Amino acid sequence: MKTSQKLEVLKKIYAGEETLNQVVDKLLEVALNQHQLRMEQYARDLQEFERRYNMDSATFYNRFEAGELGDAMEFFEWAGLYELYQSLRAKVQDLEAAL
C-alpha cells in the first residue's frame, strides 16, 4: 500500500479525533530531532573546514562556485557538505513551522 493510501486510512479511522493530530505531531517531532542531530554533525564538519582554511563556509562556497579556488577534491567535499547543510536547514525550518 502506498503512503498516500495509508494516510487516507488513518484519516478515515481517526476522522474528527485529536489522536491523528497527536500521532502526526509526534512523527514530525521525531523527524525534526533526527534532522537537527544530523545538522549538528554537518556543522561540526563544516567548522573543521573553516578552521583549516580560515574561511567561513558561505564565503568559501561563493568563491568556489565562482571558480576562484581551484578544483581540489577537498573543496568539492566541502561544497557538497555545505549544500547538504543548507538543504537540511530548510527541512528543519519546514518541520519547525509545521509544529
Q: Contacts by 64-71 with C-beta closer than 8 Å and gap 24+?
A: none
pLDDT per position as a tens digit, 24-81 = 899 999 999 999 999 999 999 999 999 999 999 999 999 999 999 999 999 999 999 9
As a whole number of angstroms, the distance between CA 82 and CA 54 comes to 16
Whether 17 shows a pLDDT value over 80: the answer reads no
Decide: pTM greater than 0.75. yes
pLDDT at 51: 98
Whether 19 shows a pLDDT value over 90: the answer reads no
H runs (alpha helix) in the chain: 3-13, 18-53, 57-65, 73-98
Q: What are phi and psi for residue 72, nearest 5 degrees?
A: -60, 140
pLDDT at 38: 97
Position with higher pLDDT, 97 vs 13: 97
